[in-house]
Structure formats: C-alpha cells, structure tokens
C-alpha cells in the first residue's frame, strides 16, 4: 500500500512532478484540508475573476463618478466632509450651501460609515474626488462579491457553485447599472451577508455566528445609507421568517429561538447604527424630497403615483431577463442571461433539501413583476405597503430579483453537477419536463427579442448555452469526469457572456466635470475665492448652464457660501426661506449677500450693487449694505408674525442695517434689554473660528444683541461668559444672543446633542460586543484548537491559550 506523501516531502519532490502529478497533489491537498485551502485560494480566485471583469476600469482613465448626481452632489459633499475630518472636526453640518444645512441626519449617506472617508483628505479637488470615488465604488463591488460568496457558502453550497452565484451578481448588468451611485452600491454590498446572517439565526444552528455577522452587516448597511437597502432588508427578513413559520409551524422551540435571535439582532443593529438611523427618521417629517424634476413630497406624504411608476417596463420586456434588450434603464436591469435562467429552473429540484429555494423564487418573481409597475397591477399593492411605498421607480426593486435569482442559479448549478452522477430514468424524465418549461420561456422571450435591438450578439448567449449542454451531456455519459476541472469549466461558461457586454463605465474625460460650462464655473469660483473677506459674506449666483444649484455645489470646493444647492432631501422651511426669495427687497443682503455673480443679471435689483469685475463674460457685483457673518444691534426695528409679514416689512426701509426684527411673541421679553437710543460701539478683541464653532471676545458700550448670520437651528448651542444661553430666532432665521455692557466671551457651537449621545452609545455597544464575543472565544478555545488541528493537520502547543 502506497503511503501518502506529507507536505514537506511533497515540497522536496515538487521539481520531479509532472503536471498530472502536481494537479493530483493539489486536489488531494484540497480534499484533505478543505477549509484552509478555501481561505487561502478562494480570495485569490475571486480577485482574478474580479480583475478579468473589472480590471480594465482600474487604469485611472475611467470613472463611474462622472454624471450629475456625482459631479454636483456626492463629490462636493464628500470633499467637504473629508476636509472636515482632516482638520479634526466632525462634519455635523455644512455652511456652504442653502444657508447652512445639517449633514448628520441626511439619508443619502452617513459620515460615520467607515469606508467612505477613512479619516483622510481623499477628495481634495473635483478631479481627485471623481477618481477616488470611482475606486471606492469598485471596492464596494468587491465587498458585494465577497459577501455574496459568503452568503452562498452559509447556504451550504459548494465552493464552485458559490463562486458562480457570486460572480453572476457582482458582474451583472444590474450591478453595473448601480455603479454610478456610491450611496446605493455601498449599502447593497452588505445585503447578501445580512441575509446570510438571518439564515443562520433562522436555522438556529450557529445563532451566535449569525448574530455577529448580522450585527456587522446590518449596521454597515444602515450607516452607508439608511434608505432603500434597509427597506428591502426588512421585507426580505420578514418574508424569510414567515416562510420558517410555515415550514416549522409544529416546532415551537425553534420558532421561539429564531424569533428571539431576530429581535436581538434587530436591537443590536439599531443601537450600532442609531447615529445614522434615528436622526434621519426624526428629521424626515420636516424634509422636502424631490421625486421627479418638478414634483416633491413633504415629510411623510405619499409619492405621487405617476412618480411611483416612473420608468416601469412593459410585460413583454420581461424577455430582457434572457436577452439584453436595448430598452430604457435608469436604476435597475433585469438581464441575467439564458444560462443563469436555465439554472434557476433546475434549482427547484433542491427545494425539498433547502427551504430557501421557494421564498427566494417568490421574492425574485415578485420584484421582477413589480418592475412592470401598473401593467401587472403590482404597483397598486406596492403603493400601499408601508416603507415599500417610499421607493419610487419599479426598477429599483430589481436588485432583489438579481440577488435571489443569482443565488438560485448557484443552487441549480449544484443540482446539475450532482445529477450527472446519477442514472435514474425517473430523474431523467423529470429533468426533461423542467427543460421543456425552460424552453417555452426561452422561445417566448426570443420571439419578443425580434422586436428589439440587443446589446449582445445572440450567438454568444445561445452558443454558450449549447456548449454548456454539450459538456453536461458528456459528464452525464461519463460521470467520472465530473471533477473540479469540468465543474470550473461549466461555471466559466455560465459567467463568460458578461465579458461581451458593452462597457458601462465611461472615460473620465467624457464626464460632466470636463464639460466647458462646468470648467468655466470652477475657474470663475476659484478667482472669486481669492477676494479678501469673501467668506464673511454670501454669494448670489445666477446662471442657466450650469444651473444655479450646480454652481452652489461647485462653490463648496472653494469655501464660498451660497443660498442654493443640488441636494435631496432638504429641510423644508429652509428651502422655502432661502431658495426662491430673491425678490424680497433687502432680505438677501440681510443674510449676507454682498456679492452677486451673473450673466443676464435680472434676479435681483442692481440699485445697491456696483460692478467689481468681469470674469469670462460673467459680472461680479458687490454692495456695502450686506450684513457680515456676525454683527451687534441694540434697537428693535419691527415685529413680525410670519415670513410673509417679515418680508413685507423688510422691504419698507433699511432698518436691517442697524436694527433687528423680532417675532411678535418675543417683543415683551426683549424690549427691556434693547431699545437704547445711544450709539452702539463695539470692538472685537479676539476671534477664533472652526468648522463647527465660533468664539468671540467683544467689548460693547451698552447692552446689545449679538446676531450670528447663520440659519437658526435647534442644534446651535451658545455660552456667554461660560454660562449657557439659549439662542433667539431673529430676522426670521438668524441667531441672536443677549450681551451685557462691557467685555463678553461668546462661544457658538453647532452641536447636535442627540447625535453625539448616540455616537457614545454606539461606542459602548461595540465595546460590550467585543467583550462578549471574546469571552465566548475564550470559553470555546479547546474547540477552536481541535478545529484548527483537524483542518490544518498541525499540532498546537498545549501552552497556547
């Protein structure tokens, strides 16, 4: 009997082995130590496949972050946040746009998500921001790839089948469709791992592992963006639990354990993601959110039905799942291909052995049919589902279709590679029936395909399908060939058609940044930013190309403070009082609009403005009648009851230059403090400004009010001579503070106390979880040693704890 070679002996004999012996050796090694080989080699295989599909986009010449939502929203905000972190400040708010808005509560993205900013100043300029966000996007595609593989392994699928399913999802057309949105691809990259953790908890086999993976994946998903991905995850988790409730209705113990585990997972996830989730939920009722170019919803209003079904597909266009029809796609694509759908058909043979098959099939079909909107009637049901009805455009649900059907393709692949080893005639007949059902759907889709142009040659799709069938038939006739090489070849045939799909990531030179109007905007703003004391005032911009909102976002890079923004959602009251009130005489000068940049120059009257300079055909005007970043007053101009009353009284005279407007309810409270007819004299002894704070030491000759020319918000805190003082809302939306006669030290700080408290709570929860799982690992160290010895074949010294 031949004795197996030990690893050291194999290394010595390596040079003497021929190719066959080497392959035999590695296969033997893999079968003897499967876990170790998987940990070592699978990441290498995944990296190679990733390079094959997306490596051409790593040359620095391409960028997914080039179209308008990136160029004029994501990139400037990321640049601002990154600069704040690099200066040691947390970006609680941004003072550059819309008069200054909070950032900590936006559902677009959270600054606490660890993979957006990494604590570095990564996004210094518009061009570097575009490149860095592009690489960040591909990094999250890699996370999606790895997490999908882990999910499929949790579902107990073999390695090759798991690689197949993960590759289909990571490099699907739908994933490439989502790549331009870093704040969409990032949360969904954690979605598969979250579902895998839910499965572990529902199975109740490794609930602690499920709890650990779930705590990580759920919290990262929510902090990346507490929006659509979270809604989808809630519904998918609920549906999987409902399935378990039906399947195991007689096993009360397991059901109770599963429910307890899900509740615990939900609680921990909410605590870990609370700084991102809770503020955004609380602030939602006061936000305006655009759901189309001309329509918006306020607070918890329902999305208009015509916006809810925007970009819906026709039922016949479901043929796109087989053939990549040249049809309009905005935020989702149902294309998978002929072979993946073929494998989905045969995944149903695994339904008795794995309860996940049926709920995944239902979820996939439901979200696929939902993409047709009103045509199949599902839009009317979705329109009434809580939270689900917050997701506009039916195509956005196709991420669930792609995930579930790619997983089912892996199950189908696993089934077929097992089936070819068997010889039952009955099984053969059943598979002929399944094949007939598939062919019926395939031929129907091919008939529809004749009316459309396609984005990939039919020969690629049909040729790969026939080649797959040929190899499968050969393995059926000779089951002994069904090894890792032939399985790998089959998997490669399934995923290879994607390589012929047209490139979807543009060259960076073709993006929005390099358009001449945008470059001109940056040149002009850069020139304006060099003006002395420009940041103590605000800038009104009027233009059509780029739009005023895009100018405002470009101004973020240069620290210029403007009144508009390309941001969604926005605080509703602030939107009303800042965006479209240019016709209110004196109002914007009160808010600090010393400068006015324009081309046609018809937004505001020019009577108080003088031409300063002309830059590339744009005129820059300035006025001396604008209020600076802060000022002192000791007289009340008038009282007002609402914004319309305030604007009408402000038009009448120039009182705003030396007096303050008080709300009618506050007149009695402050009339005794203010109202002196003596000339107010004041001097700034010291000024120290930072991103979130302003500290002043002032000397006045009388009691006065210090007004900070920032938009009033409950998150502003003030200390006067070391004592807290609640700021007063004056001049409709500015902050006022009462100062005594003499020298005073004033400290303004933008400090969202709830958010900061939640950050501390999050740190405490992380510490508790680390301690908990460390104790578990210590108590089970003997099991860990036994597992390591079994998998690696190495002995661990007994002295090792």
Which string of DSSP letters, residue by residue, matches 407-455? HHHHHHHHHHHHHTT---HHHHHHHHHHHHHHHHHHHHHHHHHTTS-BS
Q: Phi and psi dihedrals of 60, rounded to 5?
A: 85, -5
Token digits of residue 138: 């591909």
Residues 6+ apart with CB under 8 A from 634: 674, 675, 676, 678, 680, 702, 703, 704, 705
Q: How far is Cα 69 from Cα 181, in angstroms, rounded to an integer?
A: 8
Q: How far is Cα 716 from Cα 89, in angstroms, rounded to an integer?
A: 16
Inter-residue contact 595 to 622 (CB < 8 Å) = yes
Q: How far is Cα 64 from Cα 28, in angstroms, rounded to an integer?
A: 43
Q: Phi and psi dihedrals of 228, rounded to 5?
A: -60, -45
Token digits of residue 160: 């090759």
pLDDT at 794 (0 to 100):
46
Inter-residue contact 492 to 468 (CB < 8 Å) = no
List strands edge to edge, sheet with 630-633: 630-633, 704-708, 734-739, 728-730, 660-663, 636-640
Instruction: Residue 205: count other Cβ atoms within 10 Å of its Cβ.
Output: 10
Inter-residue contact 561 to 538 (CB < 8 Å) = yes
pLDDT at 185 (0 to 100):
95
Q: Give the H or E element holding residue 707.
A: strand 704-708
For the chain, the first-to-last Cα distance in angstroms comes to: 39
Q: Mapped to the 3 state alphabet, what secondary structure does 346-367 carry?
A: HHHHHCCCCCCHHHHHHHHHHH
Inter-CA distances, 621 with 584, 598, 793, Å: 18, 8, 78
Cα angle vertex 586, ends 584, 588, to 5°?
80
Token digits of residue 10: 């194999």
Q: Which residues pair with 298 in a beta bridge?
A: 288
Three-state secondary-structure class, residue 686: strand
pLDDT at 682 (0 to 100):
94
Residues 6+ apart with CB under 8 A from 433: none
- pTM for the model stands at 0.91
Inter-residue contact 474 to 409 (CB < 8 Å) = no
In the predicted model, residues of the chain with pLDDT beneath 50 are 1-3, 5, 10-17, 793-801
Residues 6+ apart with CB under 8 A from 263: none
pLDDT at 119 (0 to 100):
62
Using DSSP bridges, classify how beta strands 630-633 and 704-708 pair: parallel, antiparallel or unpaired.
Answer: antiparallel
Please name the residue that has the structure tokens 């000339």.
679
Q: Which residue intervals of 583-729 are DSSP H helices?
A: 587-590, 643-650, 667-671
Please name the residue that has the structure tokens 């195991």.
248
Residues 6+ apart with CB under 8 A from 43: 146
Burial of 770 (C-beta count, 10 Å sphere; 0-12/13-18/19+): exposed
Q: What is the DSSP letter of 608?
A: T
List strands edge to edge, sheet with 723-725: 682-689, 693-700, 742-750, 716-720, 723-725
Using DSSP bridges, classify how beta strands 538-541 and 593-598 pair: parallel, antiparallel or unpaired.
Answer: parallel
Q: How far is Cα 11 from Cα 550, in angstroms, rounded to an integer?
A: 63
* Closest-CA residue to 539 (of 570, 516, 565): 565
Cα angle vertex 181, ends 140, 577, to 5°?
135
Q: How far is Cα 286 from Cα 570, in angstroms, rounded to an integer?
A: 9
Three-state secondary-structure class, residue 685: strand
pLDDT digits (tens, 9 = 90+) for 601-642: 888 888 889 999 999 999 999 999 999 999 999 999 999 999
Q: Phi and psi dihedrals of 572, rounded to 5?
A: -65, -50
Q: Give the H or E element holding residue 698.
A: strand 693-700
Inter-residue contact 325 to 454 (CB < 8 Å) = yes
Q: How far is Cα 184 from Cα 656, in angstroms, rounded to an integer?
A: 45
Inter-residue contact 244 to 205 (CB < 8 Å) = no
Inter-residue contact 350 to 508 (CB < 8 Å) = no
Q: Kindly report each contact of residues 470-475 with a partner whose C-beta sits within 8 Å and lies 24 or more positions away, as own/partner.
A: 472/416, 472/420, 475/417, 475/420
């Amino acid at each position: 009997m031949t004795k197996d070679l030990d690893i050291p002996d194999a290394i010595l004999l390596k040079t003497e082995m021929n190719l066959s012996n080497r392959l035999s050796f590695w296969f033997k090694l893999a079968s003897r130590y499967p876990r170790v080989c998987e940990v070592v080699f699978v990441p290498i295989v995944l990296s190679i496949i990733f390079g094959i599909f997306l490596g051409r986009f790593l040359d620095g010449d391409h960028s997914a972050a080039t179209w308008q939502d990136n160029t004029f929203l994501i990139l400037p905000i990321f640049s601002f946040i990154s600069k704040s972190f690099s200066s040691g400040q947390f970006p609680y708010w941004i003072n550059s746009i819309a008069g200054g808005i909070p950032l900590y509560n936006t559902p677009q993205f959270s600054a606490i998500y660890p993979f957006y900013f990494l604590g570095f100043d990564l996004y210094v300029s518009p061009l570097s921001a575009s490149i860095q966000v592009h690489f960040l996007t591909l990094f999250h595609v890699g996370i999606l790839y790895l997490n999908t593989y882990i999910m499929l392994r949790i579902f107990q699928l073999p390695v090759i089948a798991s690689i197949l399913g993960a590759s289909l999802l990571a490099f699907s057309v739908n994933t490439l469709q989502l790549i331009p949105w870093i704040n969409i691809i990032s949360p969904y990259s954690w979605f598969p791992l979250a579902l895998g953790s839910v499965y572990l908890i529902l199975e109740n086999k490794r609930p602690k592992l499920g709890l650990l993976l779930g705590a990580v994946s759920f919290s990262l998903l929510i902090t990346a963006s507490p929006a659509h991905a979270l809604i989808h995850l809630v519904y998918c988790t609920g549906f999987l639990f409902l399935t378990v409730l039906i399947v195991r209705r007689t096993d009360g113990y397991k059901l109770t354990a599963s429910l307890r585990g899900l509740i615990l997972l939900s609680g921990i996830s909410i605590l870990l993601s609370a700084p991102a989730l809770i503020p955004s939920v609380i602030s939602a009722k006061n936000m305006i959110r655009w759901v189309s170019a001309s329509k918006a919803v306020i607070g918890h209003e329902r999305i208009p039905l015509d916006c809810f079904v925007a970009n819906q597909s026709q039922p016949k266009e479901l043929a796109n799942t087989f053939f990549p029809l040249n049809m309009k796609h905005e935020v989702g694509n149902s294309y998978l291909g002929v072979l993946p759908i073929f494998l989905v058909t045969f995944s149903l043979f695994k339904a008795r052995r794995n309860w996940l098959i049926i709920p995944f099939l239902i979820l996939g079909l439901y979200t696929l049919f939902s993409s047709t909107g009103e045509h199949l009637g599902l839009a009317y049901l979705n329109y009434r589902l809580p939270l689900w009805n917050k997701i506009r455009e039916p195509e956005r649900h196709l991420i669930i279709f792609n995930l579930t059907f790619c997983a089912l393709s892996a199950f189908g692949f696993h089934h077929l590679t097992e089936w070819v080893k068997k010889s039952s005639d009955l099984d053969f007949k059943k598979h002929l029936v399944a094949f007939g059902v598939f062919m019926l759907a395939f031929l129907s889709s091919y008939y529809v395909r004749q009316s459309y142009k396609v984005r990939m040659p039919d020969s690629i799709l049909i040729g790969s399908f026939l080649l797959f069938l040929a190899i499968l038939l050969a393995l059926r006739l000779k089951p002994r060939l069904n090894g890792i090489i032939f399985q790998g070849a089959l998997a490669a045939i399934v995923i290879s058609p994607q390589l012929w799909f047209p490139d979807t990531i543009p060259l960076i030179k073709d993006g929005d940044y390099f358009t001449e109007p945008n470059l001109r905007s940056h040149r002009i703003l850069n020139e304006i930013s060099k003006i002395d004391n420009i940041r103590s005032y605000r800038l009104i911009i009027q233009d059509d190309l780029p739009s005023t909102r895009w100018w405002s976002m470009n101004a973020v890079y240069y620290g210029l403070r403007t009144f508009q923004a390309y941001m969604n959602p926005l605080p509703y009251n602030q939107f009303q009082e800042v965006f479209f009130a240019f016709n209110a005489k004196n109002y914007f000068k009160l808010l600090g609009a010393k400068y006015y940049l324009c081309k046609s120059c018809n937004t505001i009257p020019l009577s108080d403005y003088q031409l300063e300079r002309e830059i590339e055909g744009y005129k820059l005007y300035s006025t001396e009648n604008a209020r600076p970043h802060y000022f002192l007053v000791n007289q009340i101009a008038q009282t007002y009851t609402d914004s319309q009353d305030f604007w009408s009284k402000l038009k009448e005279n120039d009182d705003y230059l030396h007096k303050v407007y008080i709300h009618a309810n506050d007149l009695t409270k402050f009339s005794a403090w203010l109202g002196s007819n003596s000339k107010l004299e004041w001097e700034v002894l010291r000024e120290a400004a930072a991103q979130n704070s302003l500290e002043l030491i002032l000397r006045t000759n009388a009691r006065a009010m210090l007004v900070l020319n920032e938009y009033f918000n409950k998150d502003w805190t003030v200390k006067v001579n070391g004592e807290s003082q609640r700021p007063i809302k004056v001049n409709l939306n500015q902050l006022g503070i009462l100062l005594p006669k003499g020298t005073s030290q004033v400290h303004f700080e933008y400090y969202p106390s709830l958010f900061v408290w939640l950050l501390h709570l999050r740190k405490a929860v992380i510490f508790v979880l680390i301690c908990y799982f460390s104790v578990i690992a210590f108590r089970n160290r003997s099991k860990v040693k036994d597992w390591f010895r079994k998998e690696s074949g190495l002995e661990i010294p007994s002295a090792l704890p």
